[in-house]
């Protein structure tokens, strides 16, 4: 009898202790659900990006014990870049992990972003689509929970056209030029076609749009068409395996690689290097240089990678474009949490609070230097109405071994794009019966 009571008490005590212990541990954790992809045709992008993202969070935990003492935790769910799997992962992870609330989702896939866009708004969970995504979600009054950070697809195209114009000696010299855009046959690839057509009309250049079906490992007919068209420039809007195949096929059909401009998802070492000598001279845009010279990357190498806790299977990829984008994404996500904590208190935050953090990110050169990311991240200022912030890119050229930056920051014509974005957002709001938030001041 007595023994029974003792066992009962012991069990009760243990249970209590366990709950208080776990509660104490749970009280100080912020969760990042990761809809990652490490297999399939886009694995190079997925492993690099999520490797950098995870390494940065790991670094924040090891170096500072989390954000103001709130530890960052995460778990992964494989999407293979497939929409249904992405939705399943979103629904599985959105609730948080062991009561640590989810901060934001980062699917790194336009298709999945489209499918979880409304769910994010309903669940009040920010959806981060860095350097990609649905362009009109830049208008934060209609899309309060979606953030195409740094560079939305329209800005990207506008910056490329500005660069081509500068090369030709002024935007007015674009008249009569011919530009072919070779795009990936997916929502991501098609996103910029209307704005290209608009720019073509505005500046008087001739535009040819060519689609490459997903995943893009066969492009003979497209490049034969390009040879027939004899364009001045080819804009490569590729993704994954499509990029090296494009460069190789270009060489086979005799198109010069230094007149191909890769977009933001055709700009990594994993895109150029597999094409071998065919990629030499190839130009692409980037929002962040590759390389390991930045203090934050040096620090990550010291505290995370050298301690054997790095996420990359192949350490040679440390500091490449995809990896650095993951780090940039990590910096922005963590900064949003930090900004939000300054307002709401140093505790795990809800998605709604983190959204406020994103909208109040103010990254100037001083803050970037503090983060050790000066030159890696562009100055960024977000607001209720403007969910993009930057809109500037640099151009880089592949020398056969590595990327060399060949231009200063080139700004997209955001004043020209904003009304188009607002129109599109308003159309969406009408279709969906959404009343836009009042953001007060003008966006740009």
Residues of this chain that bind another protein (CB under 8 A): 36, 38-39, 43, 47, 75-78, 80, 83-84, 87-88, 91-92, 94-95, 110-111, 114-115, 117-119, 134-135, 185-188, 190-195, 211, 214, 313, 424, 428, 431-433
Q: Tell me how far apart the alpha carbons of residues 339 and 345 are, in angstroms, rounded to a whole number.
A: 10
Nearer to another protein (CB atom), residue 371 or residue 434: 434
In terms of Cα–Cα distance, which of 283, 428, 358 is closest to 125?
A: 358
Shortest Å, Cβ 328 to another protein: 22
Shortest Å, Cβ 186 to another protein: 6
Nearer to another protein (CB atom), residue 419 or residue 433: 433
SS3 126: coil
Nearer to another protein (CB atom), residue 36 or residue 141: 36
Phi/psi at 435 (5° precision) = -95, 115
Per DSSP, helices labelled H in 283-413 are 295-300, 321-344, 351-359, 365-371
Is the separation of the CB atoms in 154 and 421 below 8 Å?
Answer: yes
CB burial string 233-242: b at 16+ within 10 A, e below: bbbbbbbbbb
Shortest Å, Cβ 324 to another protein: 20
Nearer to another protein (CB atom), residue 173 or residue 190: 190
Q: Tell me how far apart the alpha carbons of residues 103 and 91 are, in angstroms, rounded to a whole number.
A: 14
Nearer to another protein (CB atom), residue 16 or residue 39: 39
Shortest Å, Cβ 80 to another protein: 8
Q: Tell me how far apart the alpha carbons of residues 82 and 384 are, in angstroms, rounded to a whole number.
A: 31
In terms of Cα–Cα distance, which of 331, 304, 332 is closest to 318?
A: 304
Nearer to another protein (CB atom), residue 43 or residue 166: 43
Helix (H) or strand (E) holding 146: strand 146-147
Shortest Å, Cβ 29 to another protein: 15
**233-237/206-213 β-pairing:** unpaired
Which residues make Cβ contacts (< 8 Å) with residue 131, sequence separation at least 6?
A: 148, 149, 150, 151, 156, 264, 265, 287, 325
Tokens encoding 232? 């001045």
Shortest Å, Cβ 5 to another protein: 35
Nearer to another protein (CB atom), residue 193 or residue 303: 193
Nearer to another protein (CB atom), residue 53 or residue 428: 428
Tell me 67's DSSP state.
B
Neighbouring C-alpha atoms within 13 Å toward the C-beta of 22: 9
Shortest Å, Cβ 362 to another protein: 31
Query: What crossing angle do the helices spanning 153-168 and 193-203 adopt, rounded to 10°?
Result: 30
Shortest Å, Cβ 100 to another protein: 15
Nearer to another protein (CB atom), residue 87 or residue 377: 87
Shortest Å, Cβ 195 to another protein: 8
């Amino acid at each position: 009898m007595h023994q029974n009571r003792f066992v009962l008490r012991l069990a009760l005590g243990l249970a209590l202790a366990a709950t208080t212990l776990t509660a104490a541990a749970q009280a100080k954790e912020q969760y990042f659900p990761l809809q990652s992809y490490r297999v399939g045709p886009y694995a190079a992008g997925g492993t690099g990006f999520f490797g950098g993202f995870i390494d940065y969070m790991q670094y924040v935990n090891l170096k500072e014990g989390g954000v103001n003492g709130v530890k960052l935790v995460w778990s992964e769910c494989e999407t293979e870049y497939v929409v249904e799997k992405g939705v399943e992962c979103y629904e599985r992870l959105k609730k948080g992990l062991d009561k640590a609330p989810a901060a934001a989702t980062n699917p790194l896939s336009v298709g999945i972003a489209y499918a979880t866009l409304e769910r994010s708004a309903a669940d009040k969970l920010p959806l981060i689509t860095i350097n990609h995504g649905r362009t009109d979600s830049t208008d934060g009054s209609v899309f309060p929970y979606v953030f195409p950070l740094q560079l939305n697809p329209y800005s990207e195209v506008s910056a490329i056209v500005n660069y081509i114009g500068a090369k030709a000696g002024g935007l007015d010299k674009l008249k009569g030029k011919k530009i072919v855009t070779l795009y990936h046959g997916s929502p991501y690839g098609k996103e910029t076609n209307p704005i290209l057509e608009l720019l073509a009309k505005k500046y008087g250049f001739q535009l040819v749009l060519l689609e490459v079906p997903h995943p893009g490992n066969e492009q003979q007919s497209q490049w034969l068409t390009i040879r027939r068209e004899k364009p001045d420039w080819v804009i490569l809007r590729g993704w994954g395996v499509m990029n090296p195949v494009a460069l190789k096929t270009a060489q086979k059909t005799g198109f010069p690689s230094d007149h191909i401009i890769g977009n933001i998802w055709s700009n990594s070492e994993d895109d150029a290097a597999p094409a071998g000598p065919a990629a030499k001279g190839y130009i692409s845009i980037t929002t962040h240089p590759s390389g390991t010279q930045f203090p934050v990357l040096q620090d990550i190498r010291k505290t995370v990678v050298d301690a054997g806790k790095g996420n990359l299977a192949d350490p040679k990829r440390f500091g490449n474009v995809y990896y650095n984008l993951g780090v940039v994404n990590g910096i922005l996500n963590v900064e949003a949490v930090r900004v939000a904590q300054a307002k709401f208190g140093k505790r795990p935050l809800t998605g709604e609070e983190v959204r406020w953090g994103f909208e109040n990110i103010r990254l100037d050169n001083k803050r970037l230097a503090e983060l050790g990311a000066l030159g890696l991240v562009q100055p960024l200022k977000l607001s209720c109405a403007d969910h993009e912030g930057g809109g500037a890119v640099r151009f880089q050229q592949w020398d056969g071994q590595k990327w060399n930056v060949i231009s200063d920051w080139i700004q997209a014509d955001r004043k020209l794009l904003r009304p188009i974005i607002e129109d599109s957002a308003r159309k969406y709001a009408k279709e969906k019966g959404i009343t836009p938030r009042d953001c007060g001041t003008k966006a740009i």
